[in-house]
Structure 1
């Protein structure tokens, strides 16, 4: 079993490595489902040896229909990730009709090679999962990250199991979305995936002693201003233990 941990910091990469994970998906803005991390974060994360680094290439939150400016940004970000020594990139583009944007995806794959290419949970917004599966196989994508087109992997298990069956050895189907120590064993036992993806975040107080609690830097949806979510090695180890017996 290959374990990929979704992280948003160098500390998260280190925690994933020390817990025995094989790969980190490096993101910014996890509250929006992950966007492209900064060049500085990619460079610093790559200095952590002994763990794979896959960089998400997503210029903004929201849907996966990108305009020409956003597509150009994605091209530049892929080139930068490759230059910085990333092991893979994570992309996802759809058409307005909900199909895989095959033309642009093909171009981004060509730009990314020889890096590994994952098609992320944009797949979960695709109109026809089986048509999307075949399109991505034909494009040469290495793996698909999916919750089975449901709010969580647990709910999406029937589709994930069918996707794994149909994919065979042609592409990796990697479940991700809502995997926890409590449900990880059940998910793996039901679907038998070769790879799994999860975040292992836990709240930790920030280091500020002086605090102005009535001032917020975000919008109406306000995360705790002086707490932070950090990657927990203990959660990673527990999920791994629960999925390997």
Structure 2
């Protein structure tokens, strides 16, 4: 089996680190404190110019739930159109209805707008009321993969459901575990779930390089960065499974 590693990069330097460390694809996001929202047009454009590997910006207009207004939906359509214009390889989407089902009509329109770009359905899936119904809906819409932690906080905790989803998908769509994926558990996750693609931010906190700090502000200025060594370790362990 060939294994792929996707890195969730919360800024352009992290995307570059991930590429250098051997990542196969970047999910480009902003605002890690909100779980990832759509990056600015400038970040998306510059990332596309600098990256050789596949680039999938997240299309998420805000943090919080995945129940969006018509205005937010129009923003998502515009953001997808921009990603197409600058040559991204795909986008990452997800919308739910109030009852916890996938918002099929509007998600299908996002997929149609993205064509011929690839589409990943993100962890809105983990908030769906029925994961197997959601799986079939997402397949019907034409998405190429689902990012999921198995409807638990981490992929380790949700490994049982992820394994069931991989089996139920039966190669009709990729099931990609994410959340808490690290070099320490990647081999066990691959063995437990049968998945072939994995997602991680491999995040670490980088201290500010500012020499002057106003202590009265009482706020840390550290930022989330991708850990190059951790990405290399994950990639090496996936490659060891292929041999």
TM-score, shorter chain, exceeding 0.5: yes
- In structure 2, relative to structure 1, the CA distance for the partners of 1:49 and 1:227 (3 Å cut) is closer
C-alpha contact (below 8 Å) 2:10/2:31 kept by paired residues: yes
* Residue number in structure 2 paired with 1:44: 46
1:186-225 to 2 correspondence within 5 Å?
186-215=188-217, 225=220
* Residue number in structure 1 paired with 2:151: 149
**CA distances 1:78-110 after superposition (whole Å, capped 9, x unpaired):** 111111111100000000000000000110100
What is the CA–CA distance in structure 1 between the aligned matches of 2:239 and 2:87, rounded to whole Å?
A: 31
1:185 aligned residue (184, 187, 190): 187
C-alpha contact (below 8 Å) 1:34/1:58 kept by paired residues: yes
TM-score, normalised via structure 1 length: 0.94
Q: Any gaps of 5 or more consecutive residues in structure 2?
A: none
Deviation at 1:204, TM superposition (A): 1.6
Deviation at 1:160, TM superposition (A): 0.2
C-alpha contact (below 8 Å) 1:161/1:191 kept by paired residues: yes
Deviation at 1:61, TM superposition (A): 0.3
1:37-116 to 2 correspondence within 5 Å?
37-116=39-118
Coordinate RMSD, CA, aligned:
1.1
Q: Any gaps of 5 or more consecutive residues in structure 1?
A: 217-223
What is the CA–CA distance in structure 1 between the aligned matches of 2:140 and 2:51, rounded to whole Å?
A: 33
1:10 aligned residue (12, 25, 28): 12
SS in 2 for 1:117: strand
How many residue pairs align between the two structures? 238
Deviation at 1:243, TM superposition (A): 2.9
SS in 2 for 1:214: helix
C-alpha contact (below 8 Å) 1:9/1:45 kept by paired residues: no
Deviation at 1:35, TM superposition (A): 0.2
TM-score, normalised via structure 2 length: 0.95
Runs of 4+ in 1 over 4 A off after TM superposition: none
SS in 1 for 2:116: coil
* Residue number in structure 2 paired with 1:232: 227
